[in-house]
Amino acid sequence: MSDAPTQTPADGYAETPELHERIDRIGFGLVGGATVMFFLGFVFAYFYLRSLDNNSLWRPAGVEPPDGYGIAIAAALALSAAAFGYAARVAKRGESGWVAASGLALVLGLFACVAQCFEYAHIPFGPESGGYASVFFGWTALYVVVTLIALWRVETIFAVGLRHHGEVGAAVPEGFVPGATYWALLAAIGVLAWVVLYLL
Amino acid sequence: MSSEALARPLWRRLIGFNLLGGIVLGVAGFYFGWWLGHQIHAESLDFFGDTNQNDVALMLGYVFSVVGFLIGLGFARYPLARMLGKERTHTENEHGGSGRYFGLCTDHKVVGVQYLCGIGLFFFIGGLNAMLIRAELLQPSPQIFGAGNYLTLVGLHGTMMMGIMTSGVLGPFANYFVPLMIGARRMAFPRVEAITFWLLMAAGAILMTTLFFGGFPTGWTGYAPLNDQANFGFDSYIFFFALVGLSMMLLGLNMIATIITMRAPGLTWSRLPIFCWGAISTSILMVLAAPVLIAALLMVGFDRAVQTSFFLSSAGGSPYLFQNLFWFFGHPEVYVLALPGFGIILEILPVFARKPLWGYRIAVAGILGVALLSFFVWQHHLFVSGLNSSLRPFYMFSTEAISVPTGLVFLAGMATLWRAKIRYTVPMLFCLAWFFNFFIGGASGVFLSDVPSDVATHGSFFVMAHFHYTIMGGLIFAFFAAIYYWVPKMFGVMLSERLGKIHFWAMFIAFNSTFAPLFALGLMGQPRRVVTYPSHLEPLNIWVSVSAFVLGASMLVFLANVVYSLVFVRKPAPDNPWDSRSLEWQTPTPVPIENFERRPIIDTDPYDYGVPPVPLVPPGPAEAPAPG
Mean pLDDT within B242-256: 96
The helix-helix angle for B319-353 and B360-373 (nearest 10°) equals 170
Q: Which domains does chain B possess?
A: 1-89+97-104 (no CATH), 105-586 (1.20.210.10)
Nearest-by-Cβ selection for B253 from A27, A58, A163: A27
Q: Where are the alpha helices (DSSP H) in B492-587?
A: 497-523, 538-563
Please say if the pLDDT value at position B49 is more than 70: no
How many whole angstroms separate alpha carbon A74 and alpha carbon A112?
Answer: 8
Its sign, for the CA torsion B570, B576, B582, B584, is positive
Q: What is the pLDDT of residue B627?
A: 40
Q: What is the pLDDT of residue B618?
A: 52
- Least Cα separation, residue B152 to chain A (angstroms): 28
Q: Which residues contact B487 (CB under 8 A, 6 or more apart)?
A: B493, B495
Q: What is the pLDDT of residue B303?
A: 94
Cβ contacts (< 8 Å) between B287 and chain A: which residues? 30, 33-34, 37
Q: Is B567 on the interface with A (CB under 8 A)?
A: no
How many whole angstroms separate alpha carbon B170 and alpha carbon B182?
Answer: 15
Mean pLDDT within A77-81: 97
Q: What is the pLDDT of residue B4?
A: 62
Nearest-by-Cβ selection for B92 from A1, A60, A142: A1
Mean pLDDT within B277-290: 96
Q: What percent of chain B has pLDDT over 90?
A: 78
Specify whether the backbone of A60 is left (phi greater than 0), alpha (psi in -120 to 50) or beta.
beta
pLDDT-derived band at A7 (thresholds 50, 70, 90) equals: very low
Q: What is the pLDDT of residue B48?
A: 44
- Residue A76 covered by a domain: yes
Give the residue, B505 or A8, on which the prediction is more confident. Answer: B505
Q: Which of B251, B304, B310 to mutate to test the interface with A (most CBs of A within 10 A)?
A: B310
Please say if the pLDDT value at position B25 is more than 90: yes
- Residue A9 covered by a domain: no
Q: Is A26 on the interface with B (CB under 8 A)?
A: yes
CB contact under 8 A, B295 and A42: yes
- Residue A165 covered by a domain: yes
User: How far are the Cα atoms of B37, B39, B63, B213, B214 from residue B236, in angstroms, in the given order?
Assistant: 15, 21, 11, 9, 10
Q: Which of A2, A139, A167 to mutate to test the interface with B (most CBs of B within 10 A)?
A: A2
Is A159:B82 a contact under the CB 8 Å cutoff? yes
Q: Is A92 on the interface with B (CB under 8 A)?
A: no
Lowest mean pLDDT among B20-29, B73-82, B387-396, B554-563: B387-396
CB contact under 8 A, B324 and A48: yes
Mean pLDDT of chain B: 91
CB contact under 8 A, B257 and A23: yes
Mean pLDDT within A120-146: 95
- Residue A177 covered by a domain: yes
* B619 burial level (CB within 10 Å; 0-12, 13-18, 19+): exposed
pLDDT-derived band at B91 (thresholds 50, 70, 90) equals: confident
CB contact under 8 A, A7 and B303: no
pLDDT tens, residue by residue, B184-225: 999 999 999 999 999 999 999 999 999 998 899 999 999 999
pLDDT-derived band at A8 (thresholds 50, 70, 90) equals: very low
Buried b (16+ CB within 10 A) or exposed e, B415-428: bbbeebeeeebbbb
Please say if the pLDDT value at position B55 is more than 90: no
Q: Is B13 on the interface with A (CB under 8 A)?
A: no
Please say if the pLDDT value at position A12 is more than 80: no
Q: Is B313 on the interface with A (CB under 8 A)?
A: yes
Q: Is B592 on the interface with A (CB under 8 A)?
A: no
Q: Provide the greatest CA pair distance for chain B.
A: 90
Q: What is the pLDDT of residue A1?
A: 30
Q: What percent of chain B has pLDDT over 70?
A: 94
Cβ contacts (< 8 Å) between B83 and chain A: which residues? 152, 155-156, 159
How many whole angstroms separate alpha carbon B164 and alpha carbon B244?
Answer: 7
Neighbours of B492 (CB within 10 A): 18
How many whole angstroms separate alpha carbon A17 and alpha carbon B87?
Answer: 13
CATH number of the domain residue A189 falls in? 1.20.120.80
Q: What is the pLDDT of residue B90?
A: 85
Q: Is B89 on the interface with A (CB under 8 A)?
A: yes
Is B576:B587 a contact under the CB 8 Å cutoff? no
- Least Cα separation, residue A53 to chain B (angstroms): 6
Cβ contacts (< 8 Å) between B325 and chain A: which residues? 41, 44-45
Q: Which residues contact B372 (CB under 8 A, 6 or more apart)?
A: none
- Residue A181 covered by a domain: yes
Query: Using CB atoms and an 8 Å cut-off, which of residues 318-377 of chain B contact chain A?
Result: 318, 320-321, 324-325
pLDDT tens, residue by residue, B423-481: 999 999 999 999 999 999 999 999 999 999 999 999 999 999 999 999 999 999 999 99
Residue B572: phi, psi to the nearest 5? -65, 140
Q: Is A31 on the interface with B (CB under 8 A)?
A: yes
Q: Is A197 on the interface with B (CB under 8 A)?
A: no
Cβ contacts (< 8 Å) between A141 and chain B: which residues? 302
- Least Cα separation, residue B302 to chain A (angstroms): 7
Q: What is the pLDDT of residue B47?
A: 46
* A120 burial level (CB within 10 Å; 0-12, 13-18, 19+): middle
Residue B306: phi, psi to the nearest 5? -120, 15
Mean pLDDT within A89-105: 90
Q: What is the pLDDT of residue A134?
A: 96
Secondary structure of B213-270 as H, E, C letters:
HCCCCCHHHCCCCHHHHCCCCHHHHHHHHHHHHHHHHHHHHHHHHHHHHCCCCCCCHH
How many whole angstroms separate alpha carbon B237 and alpha carbon B217?
Answer: 10
- Residue A128 covered by a domain: yes
How many whole angstroms separate alpha carbon B166 and alpha carbon B285?
Answer: 11
Q: What is the pLDDT of residue A3?
A: 32
Please say if the pLDDT value at position B284 is more than 50: yes
Residues spanned by the domain of A171: 18-50+66-199
Neighbours of B124 (CB within 10 A): 15
CB contact under 8 A, A22 and B261: yes
CB contact under 8 A, B316 and A2: no
pLDDT-derived band at B15 (thresholds 50, 70, 90) equals: confident
Is B134:B542 a contact under the CB 8 Å cutoff? no
pLDDT tens, residue by residue, B148-188: 889 999 999 999 999 998 888 899 999 999 999 999 999 99
- Residue A55 covered by a domain: no
CB contact under 8 A, A34 and B325: no
How many whole angstroms separate alpha carbon B37 and alpha carbon B57?
Answer: 4
Cβ contacts (< 8 Å) between B289 and chain A: which residues? 37
- Residue A130 covered by a domain: yes
Nearest-by-Cβ selection for A49 from B79, B292, B317: B317
CB contact under 8 A, B85 and A159: yes
Query: Using CB atoms and an 8 Å cut-off, which of residues 145-184 of chain A contact chain B?
Result: 152, 155-156, 159-164, 173-174
Is B109:B523 a contact under the CB 8 Å cutoff? no
Please say if the pLDDT value at position A9 is more than 50: no
Q: Is B76 on the interface with A (CB under 8 A)?
A: no
Q: Annotate B404-431 with DSSP letters as a single string.
A: HHHHHHHHHHHHHHTT------HHHHHH
Q: How many domains does chain A have?
A: 1
How many whole angstroms separate alpha carbon B622 and alpha carbon B300?
Answer: 63
Beta bridge partners of A105: none
Mean pLDDT within A23-52: 96
* B139 burial level (CB within 10 Å; 0-12, 13-18, 19+): middle
For residue B168, give the amino acid letter: G
